[in-house]
Amino acid sequence: MSRYAQRRRRGGSPPTAAAVAPINLTSVSLFDASTATLFFDGPAPCNGATDFSFSINGFTIASSSQDGPNSVTVTAAGPVWNPGDPYSLIASPTWLDVPVNFPASGLVT
């Protein structure tokens, strides 16, 4: 076995990818009674899935889509949301491809 092959064998495993730092939900703004935009403090790539991790006034989302690099639009099944309603993030959403710090809560603007 050549010296190069020996060094390569002893090199160990390849370097692991760096962990992605979680982002934070900074605000939620209503477009209408069934559509809201969520704003984050960093890139928030959306994959379009849904889950029960986020709700406004107890109503979870029916769909999610990319709005901008740091924002995601979510919709409810019907016109159930109003300005001033409380929002709650109880887990890192599966509809985002990056982790999100939770819990987070506040009032919709």
Nearest to 31 by CA among 81, 77, 104: 81
Nearest to 89 by CA among 75, 67, 106: 106
**Helices (H), ranges, the chain:** 3-10
pLDDT recorded at residue 87 = 98
Cβ atoms of residues 47 and 95 within 8 Å: yes
Domains of the chain: 25-107 (2.60.40.1220)
- Whether the predicted pLDDT of 15 surpasses 80: no
pLDDT tens across 69-80, in order?
999 999 999 999
- Whether the predicted pLDDT of 1 surpasses 70: no
